[in-house]
A and B are shown apart, each in its own frame.
Chain A
Amino acid sequence: MMIKRQPLITVEKSLKEITDDICAPVERFPNKAWWCGLLCAKALFIYYLVAIGFVFAYGMGLMGTNHPVGWGTDIVTFVFWIGIGHAGTLISAILFLFRQKWRTSIARTAEAMTVFAVMTAGIFPLIHTGRPWLDFWLIPYPNQRGPMWVNFRSPLLWDVFAVSTYATVSIVFWYIGMVPDFATIRDRATHKVRKLIYGILSLGWRGSARHWSHYEMVYMILAGLATPLVLSVHTIVSFDFAVSGLPGWHTTIFPPYFVAGAIFSGFGMVVTLMTLVRIGFPSFKQYITLDHMEVINKIIMTTGMMVGYAYASEFFIAWYSGNPYETYAFVNRAFGPYAWSYWIMVSCNVLIPQIFWFKAARRSIPIMFVVSIFVNIGMWFERFVITVTSLHRDFLPTNWGQYAWTMWDTSILFGSFGMFLTLFLIYLRIFPAISIAEVKPVRHVGRDGGGHHG
C-alpha cells in the first residue's frame, strides 16, 4: 500500500494554463501595490547609497566600530545576508540532487533570493574597509607592485574566494535554469524589443531533444558544483571568526553551526518572501502551496533547534575547557551589557520556532510570516552577538569597551534591505518567478493517472 502524495499543484491545470499563470506577471503592466513597493524599496536603496557615500567620504569613523570592537554592523550584516543566501542553493541544488520534486515551484524564487542576498552581502566587505578604494588588493593577480601578493593564510582572503565563487556559481545555475523559460517568454512576446531581449537571454533555445538533453546534464553538473558550496561558503565565513584567537570566536563548532544557522535564516527569508509573493500574485498560490510552506517550516524548526544545540554546546565547552577567558566571554554574552541581544537571539531562534510543533501553526500564513520575521531578526542578532560581544571584552580588562552604534549603522543596515527588495521586486516582473519547464512535469504528482515520477 502506498501513501498517496499530496498534489504539488492544487488545481488541475493544462500546460497552457500553467504557462499563462507564470508568465502573467512578466507580461502584464504592474499594479499599484508593486509600484508602491518598488518606490519604497528604491528610496531606501538610494538612501543606502548616500549613506555609503558619506562613509566613503569621511571614513569608517562614522560607523560605530571602535577600539576594541573593530568589526560591527558591516560584518554582522554581511554574515546575515550571506546566511540568507543559503536557502536558495540548498533548495535548488541539494533538493534537486535528492530528487525532491516539491522544490520545483519555489526553487526559482529561492535562487533569486540567494543571488540578491549574496549581491547585497558582497557590498559589505567592500565598504567595511578603511580604504575601500584599495579593496582590489585582496584579489591575487599579477601586478606591478613588486609584485605584491595576498596573504593566503588569512581567512579574509579565503572569504573573498568563497563568496565570489558562490556568487558566480549561483548566478550561472540560476541563469541556466531560466533559459527554457526565457525562450517561452520570447516565443509569447508580441513586442519586437521584448522578443529581442528575451531572445538574447534564451541563448537560442529551441527546445529540441538535443537541447533538453544537454540542458539537463549541465543543470545536474551545476547542481553538483553548487552543493558543496552551500556548505563551504558559510564554513569559510565562520573561519573569519574561528581561525582568530579571540574567546567566543575561536571555536571548532563554528563551521556546522554557521551552516545550520545559514539554512535556518535562509528558509526564514524564503517564508517571508513566499508569503509576500502569494499575496502579491494570488494565482501563484496554486503552485506555492501550503504544503510547500509546511515543509519549509519543518526545516526552520529543525535547523532552529540545531542552532539552539550549538548555543548550548558553546556554553558547555566554555565551561568544560576550563579556559577562564572563554568562560568569561560566554557568561558575559548571557549576562553582560549585551545580554539583551543574546536573549533576543535565543528567543527568536530557539524558542519562537517551537510553535511549529503544531500543524495548525505550520500551515497558518500569518503565524509563519511573523515567525519568519523573528527568525530574520534573531539571526541578525546572532551575528551581532558573536561579533560584538566577543570583541568588546576580551583578554585585558583595560581594553574593554562598548560598541558605539551611530545613525550610520542604522542607515546601512536598513539601507541594505532597500537594495535587496529593489532587486527582488524587479526580478518578480522581468523573470518568470516559477520555473515553467520544471512545474509542468510535476502537474500530475498526487493525482490519479499521473505521478509516475513519484
Chain B
Amino acid sequence: MSDSTNTDKKSSTNDVRPVEGSPLYWQSLEELKGWSPSQEEYLAPFDAEKGGVLRRDFLKLMGASLALAGSACVRRPVQKIVPYIKRPEEVIPGVANYYASTWVDGGEGFGLVVKTYSGRPVKLEGNELHPVNQGKLSARAHGHILNLYDPDRIQGPKKVAASSAADIGWDELDGMVSAQLSKGKVAILSSSLASPTTYSLIEKFLDQFQGELFLWDVLGADDIIEGQKASYGQALLPQFRFDRAQLVVSIDTDFLGTVISPVEFSRQFASTRSPGKEFSKLVAFESNLSLTGANADQRFRIRPSDQVLVVMGLLYEIIVKGKNSRFVGDSRITSLLEGYKGVAGKLGIKEEEFSELANSLWEHRGRSLIASGGLSTRSGNLSLQVATNFLNSVLENEGVTVDTRNSIESYQGSYKHISNLIQKMKSGQISTLIIHNCNPIYALATDSGFVEALKNVKLVVFTGDRVDETGQVAHLVAPDHHPMENWGDAELRRGVFSIQQPTIRPLYKTRAFQDSLMVWAKGSGKALSREENWHDYLKSYWKERIYAKYGGEGLGAGSFETFWNSVLQKGVYDVSLRESHGQSGQVRSFNTNSLSLIEKSKSVNGYELVLYSKMGVGDGKLANVSWLQELPDPITKIVWDNYVNISPKSARKEGLSEGDLVQLKSGSQSVELPVHIQPGLHDEVLAVAIGYGRTGAGQIGNNIGKNAFLLSRFQGGSPQFSGLEAQISKTGKTHKLVNTQGHHRMEGRAIVVEATNAQYQEKPDAGIHHHKIFSIWPGHKYPGHKWAMAIDMTKCTGCSACVVACQSENNIQIVGKDRIANGREMQWMKIDRYYKGDEENPTSVFQPMLCQHCDHAPCEAVCPVVATSHSNEGLNEMTYNRCVGTRYCANNCPYKARRFNWFEYSNINYPLTMALNPAVTTRSRGVMEKCTFCVQRIKEGKNAARDKDAPLNDGDIVTACQQTCPAEAIVFGDVNDPKSRISQLYKDSRSYKVLDEFNAEPAIRYLTKIRNVDHIQGDANEEGHA
C-alpha cells in the first residue's frame, strides 16, 4: 500500500477548514479567506491563456508523480519528483479534497462529491446531503470520470467539411457563428436542461435572435408527462414513491435499472424490503427480463402489445368483477372494461393468480404503485400511460405513491419537440442550429428525416466533446467544457437546487457552452447580460432568482456570499418543502375522458421487438467509457456487445444457438446481430439493447455491437420502441458473445440461501444450514479492530454500481473483450446471478462476490513468498511488490476472488492516467490482486481519527462499494465494536457464511434472500444441502 495517506496532517491543519480529507466535509473554493493571487489563478478555471500554465502543469506532474511514487511494483519508476516550494494552502499531497457538484445525464441527475488529489478529480461519490441520491450513485455516474479523461475528446474547436474535421481558432469560429446568427432563424436543440440558469441564459439568447428551443432526450419521459397531461391536465413528471408502496406492479418498466431515476427508486424500493410484516411485494409483467423483473417476487411474461391489456385486465377485475372503487357505477367505464374480460387467458396467465393480484392491489389501495414508463413501454401511443394513471387513481395511489409534490424537473425533452424541429428545418425556417449535449444523428431512427432536413440548415454548430455522428454532419464543433470543468446548476426536483462546481481546470481549449452563447451574442452586437462570463451570470442568477426568492433559509441567511459559500460547500439548496412546490397528499381527479385515448393494441405477426437500454452503456452517450462497456450486463453477464435476446423455446424452434448471427428485420430496416438465448423472455418477443453500434464515439466505443435505434419508428413525435413487428433469419455466420459468467444454476448448492417471508417470520434463520465445524486451532487474535462486511441479498438488486465504484476507487484496469473471452476479467467485485426454476420464467438471485477476507484464508497458507498475509485487523492483505505470481493463492481460493495481471494492464496513457487514484497502487503484470476492503480508506479513516485524537466511530470508514450501493445492501465496519452495525448484522439470524463448511471463516456475512412469495422456486435447500 501507498503510505501517501500518512502525511502528517497536524502540521498543516488550517483553522479555516474544520476537517480535512473527510468525505463528510469538503471545501468550497471561496471558503478560503486571504488566498494568494496564485491560488486565485489556480481556481479561476476559465481562462486558458492567462498565465499560471506552468504551475498548473506542475500540479498535474505532481499528481502523476505521486501515482508513480505510490506504485512501487511498477518496475524502475525513475521519475524525479519535486516538492512544492510554496504549497497552495488547500492542497496537501496525498490528501484528497472533496468538492460538491452535480451530474446530469439526459434527465437523470445526482448530487456529487468529487474527490480530487492535487487539483485532479479521481473519483465521483454521491453527495449524502442531496435529497435525490443521498450519497448513492449509479454505475454510469461513476463512469463519468473516465469521460472527463477520455483521450478521444477533441482539444479545441473544429471546422467540419465532408466529415473531416480541421482545427480552427475560437476567434474564427465565433466570427462565423455570430455572422450567421445575425441573419436570424436560430434554433437550439439540446437534451433536457436541468439547469435553470442555463435555461434562462438560453431564453435570453433566443429572445435576442427570435430563436426557438427544442429539448429532446433519447431516454426521455415525455410519454409519461403527456399521459399525465391527458389524465390530470398537468404536464409534469410526478415523483413515484416506491418507499410508500407495499405492492408494486411494474408493467415492462425497469425502474430499478434504467427508467427515470433508478438510483433513487432502488433506494426507496430497498427501504421497503426489510423482511417481516411490512415487507413489500414487487410484481412484474415483462417482455424482456430486466433488472426489475429479476428482483420481482412474482413475474409474468407478456408481449409488449399486452402491456395495456394487463392494466385494463386488472381494472376489469377490480371495478367490474370486484365491484370496487368509486368508478363502479360509471357505466361508460364498466362498458369499456367489459372488453377486457378474461385477459388472463389471453396472456397465458392463470386466472386465479391474476384475480388474486387484482384483489391484493385493491387491499393495498393507497399503498400500491403501478409503474410504467421507459423505452420498453413506448409503443407509439399514450394508451399504457392513461391506463396506468387510471389504475393508480382507482387504487387511490394519487397523492401517496404518485406524488406531484416536488415533481421531477429534469426530464423536459420530448420527441414532439424534435419532430417540430424537423418540420421547421424541412420548410427552411431554420438557418442556424446549435446542437447541445445530444446526438440526434445517432439516436434518431432513419425514418425521422432529420438528416435530410438538416441539409436545409445553413450553419450547424455542435457543442459536443468529440466529432461524433452529429459532429460529422455539423459545420462547426465548438466543444463545451466537460461538466466537471464547468460551472453549472440543476433543479432536479422542484425546489431542489444543486450546484455544479468545476473541479479541474479545463484540460483542453474548450469553452463553456454558456460562455459560447454569450460570446456569439456579443459578436452579433447583442449583450445577454451585464455579466461578462458564465460564472458571474450563474452567481448573479442565484443571487437574484434563488437567494432573493427563498432567502437562503437554512444555509447561512446572513449575506449572499455566506449563502453562496454554503451552497458550494453543501452542493445543494433544498427548498422543496415550501408550499409553493406542491402539497403532499394532493389528489388530482382523473379525467375519465382520457380513457378514450386507450387503443386496443394491434397484434403482430411473428415476433414483437422490444428495445431496452442497459445499465452500463445506456443511451450510448458514454459508449467510449471502457468501464461501462466492460461492466457485465446484470442479467446476461455479457460484456462489450449488444445482441438479440430470444427465449430458449424460440431459439430451439428457429434452430439458433448462442452467438449465431441473425438478420433482424423490422419494417424496412434490418440489422445483423448475434443471438443471445435469454431465459425468462416471452417466446414471441425479441429484445435488443440500444446504445451500441456507435461510429463516432471514439476508439473504445466505435463499432461495438449494432445500432438498434435503426429498428425503431419515429412516427412524427410519438416514437415506437416496443411492440415492433420483427422477423429473424439465420445468416449462418457466428459472432462470439463474451460473458463473465458462463454457468447460471446453483447446482443445488446452498450458496444463496432463500426463504419466503412467511418462513422467515416463523423461523428467522429459515433456509440456513448450520454446519458443525470443529477446529483444533483457536484462530487469529484481533485485539483492535476486526474489519468485516455484511451483504443483504434481500436488498441487493444487482444494479452493479458497486462494481464500477470499486473499479474507480481501486484503479482496476479494463482488459477488453478478447481477454474476457479467455477468462481474464479484472473486476474485484462481481455480481453473481443465478437462475432458479424453469428456463421459461426463472427467478433470479444476485450475490455480490468479492474477497471474503477469511480468518482461515486458504490463500495465505500457500503463497511461497508470503505476498498475501493476514493483518491483525482481519484483513487479508496483498503485498503486490512481493508477489512473484505463482497463482497458487487464486487456485486455492474457494470463492475465486483473486484476479491476476496476465499482461501489463496498467500501462495506460495520459490523460487516462489522471483518473488513477494515487492512494492505490497500480499493479504491474504478473501480480495477483483482489479486493482490499478499501484498505486505503481504512487507513485514511484511522489517520483522521488519530489526528482528531478521537476514537474511530462506526461509519467513519466506508468502502467504495458500500458508499455507492443505492439499496444500502452493503455494510462494512468493525465487528469488535459491539455497537457497530456490522456486529449487529453478524448476530442477525439471517446472516450466514457462503461455503461455511469449507471453514475458511470468511469475514463477509450474507443475509438470506427473503422473497414475498408462497414458495421458493427450485429451492436449493431442498435439492440437497451443501
Contacts and interface: CB of A to CB of B under 8 A. Distances in A.
Interface of A: 58-61, 64-71, 128-132, 134-135, 137-138, 148-151, 153-157, 160, 240, 243-246, 324-325, 328, 391, 393-402, 404
A59 B862 CA distance: 22
Contacts of B743: 393, 397-398, 400
A391 B862 contact: no
B849 A61 contact: no
Given A61-B902, A66-B823, A243-B862, A325 B1026 contact: yes
Contacts of A402: 742, 823
Contacts of A128: 886
A415 to B, nearest CB: 20
B862 A155 contact: yes
Contacts of B895: 395-396, 399
Contacts of B861: 151, 153-154, 243
A52 B245 CA distance: 63
Contacts of B748: 324
Contact of B882 (A58, A148, A391, A397): A148
A402 to B, nearest CB: 8
A131 to B, nearest CB: 4
Contacts of B862: 153-156, 243-244
A243 B995 CA distance: 18
Interface stretch (B214-222, B306-314, B794-802, B925-933): B925-933
Contacts of B865: 137-138, 148, 150-151
Contacts of A246: 891-892, 894
A401 B749 CA distance: 18
B899 interface: yes
A137 B882 contact: yes
A67 B749 CA distance: 21
Interface in B901-935: 901-904, 924-928
* 9 closest residue pairs by CB, A with B: A130-B885, A130-B926, A61-B902, A66-B823, A131-B926, A70-B887, A398-B832, A399-B896, A404-B822
A138 B834 CA distance: 40
A224 B1000 CA distance: 42
B901 to A, nearest CB: 7
B460 to A, nearest CB: 45
A399 B895 CA distance: 8
A61 B824 contact: yes
Interface residues of B, number: 60
7 contacts: A67-B823, A71-B891, A130-B928, A131-B884, A154-B863, A396-B894, A397-B749
Contacts of B824: 61, 66-67
Contacts of A151: 861, 863-866
A332 B448 CA distance: 55
A60 B902 contact: yes
Q: B746, B824, B891, B901 — which one has the most chain A CB atoms within 10 A of its CB?
A: B891
Given A130-B925, A324-B1024, A67 B890 contact: yes
**A-side binding surface: helix, strand, loop or mixed?**
loop
A68 B896 contact: yes
B654 interface: no
A325 B749 CA distance: 9
Contact of A137 (B747, B884, B900, B901): B884
Contacts of B892: 244-246
A325 to B, nearest CB: 7
Contacts of B994: 396
Interface string B170-207: 00000000000000000000000000000000000000
B883 interface: yes
A401 B823 contact: yes
Contacts of B901: 59, 130
A396 to B, nearest CB: 6
B232 to A, nearest CB: 46
Contact of B888 (A58, A135, A156): A156
B741 interface: yes
A156 B886 contact: yes
A70 B890 contact: yes
Given A61-B819, A61-B902, A148 B866 contact: yes
Contacts of A69: 823
Contacts of A149: 866
Contacts, number: 173
A70 B888 contact: yes
A151 B867 CA distance: 9
B742 A400 contact: yes
Given A157-B864, A396-B749, 4 more contacts: A131-B884, A394-B894, A398-B741, A399-B895
A394 B927 CA distance: 23
A388 to B, nearest CB: 11
B998 interface: yes
B931 to A, nearest CB: 14
Contact of B903 (A59, A129, A396): A59
B378 interface: no
Contact of A129 (B747, B885, B898, B1000): B885
B425 to A, nearest CB: 51
B751 interface: yes
Interface string B523-564: 000000000000000000000000000000000000000000
Contacts of B825: 67
A398 B897 CA distance: 11
B858 interface: yes
Contacts of A391: 891
Interface string B761-775: 000000000000000
Interface string B852-864: 0000001001111
Given A67-B824, A391-B891, A160 B834 contact: no
Q: A59, A70, A244, A401 — which one has the most chain B CB atoms within 10 A of its CB?
A: A70
Interface string B732-749: 000000000111111111
A328 B747 CA distance: 9
Interface in B837-879: 847, 849, 858, 861-866
A65 B900 CA distance: 10
Contact of A398 (B819, B849, B899, B925): B849
Contact of B883 (A67, A131, A398): A131
Nearest to B891: A70
A131 B861 CA distance: 20
B870 to A, nearest CB: 12
Contacts of B884: 129-131, 134-135, 137-138
Contacts of B903: 58-59, 61
Contacts of B896: 67-68, 394-396, 399
A61 B925 CA distance: 9
Given A68-B896, A395-B895, A400-B742, A130 B888 contact: no
B747 A156 contact: no
A123 to B, nearest CB: 15
Nearest to B888: A156
Contacts of B863: 151, 154, 156
Contacts of B747: 328, 397
Contact of A395 (B847, B894, B900, B904): B894
Given A131-B927, A244-B862, A245-B892, A396 B751 contact: yes
A278 to B, nearest CB: 41
Nearest to A391: B891
Given A138-B865, A154-B861, A404-B823, A59 B887 contact: no
A135 B865 CA distance: 10
B833 interface: yes
A129 B926 contact: yes
Interface string B616-638: 00000000000000000000000
B885 A131 contact: yes
A71 B887 contact: yes
B928 A154 contact: no
Nearest to A155: B862
Q: A70, A155, A398, A399 — which one has the most chain B CB atoms within 10 A of its CB?
A: A398
Given A129-B885, A130-B928, A66 B891 contact: no
